[in-house]
Chains A and B, each alone.
Chain A
C-alpha cells in the first residue's frame, strides 16, 4: 500500500523559506505514470493547489505562487520537496502531498498533512 508522509518545520519566520519533504513508501516515485503534488489548506479554509512534479522533474505551479515556489523530486530518497520563499502569515496552512495518475484527475493517495505556522 502506497504511503505518503510530509515532514518539516512546524514554525517558520516571516520572510524566510518554508521547506517540506514528502516521503513515499510502498511505490517508486520514478514511475512515469504519476504526478506528485502539493496542496495546502489554510486554517478553516478551502484547498489550494500549489503545484506538481513528474518523475523527470518537470513542474507546473499555481500562477499566484509561482514566483515563490519550487517543487523538486529526489529519486534517490524516493521523496519530493517543496520550497516556498518569502513566507508571510498568509502561508500558514496544512500542507498535503498527493499522487495523481497522469492523464486523469485521479488523485488517490494523500499524506496526512503537516501544519506550518508562519510567525515570528
Chain B
C-alpha cells in the first residue's frame, strides 16, 4: 500500500487560513469516510484533531476543520496561531482492511 500524498510543508501568517491536502486513491480516501488528521509536536505522540473526515474530538479548537472530495481529503486551519506550528498527518482506512498514513506536512507559522 502506498502512503497518502501530502505536501511536505505549508506556511502562513498568524490569523490566516491554510489548507493541507491529502491525496489517496479509490481504494482508501475515495471510498471510505474513515479519514483522520493528527497533529504532532516534536518528541510527542500524535494528537487526534479530526476523525471520520469532518468530526472534531471534544476539546479540539473549531479552527480545525476537515473535508473530502473524491480521492482528496483536506484539513483547514483558520485563524492561524503560533501554537499550530507542528507536523500534520492524515490517515485513512483501506479496502484491504488496513490503515495508511500520509507522509506528513510541516506547518510553519511565519
Taking beta carbons and an 8 Å cutoff, which residues of A are in contact with B?
37, 39, 46-49, 51-52, 60-64, 96, 98, 104-108, 110-113
Contact = CB atoms under 8 A, between A and B. Distances in A.
A61 B100 CA distance: 11
B45 A106 contact: no
A48 B51 contact: no
Interface residues of B, number: 29
A37 B57 CA distance: 19
Contact of A105 (B3, B91, B96): B91
Contacts, number: 65
Contact of A49 (B34, B52, B101): B101
Contacts of B48: 106-108
B93 interface: yes
**Centre residue among A37, A46, A49 by max chain B CB count within 10 A:** A46
B104 A46 contact: yes
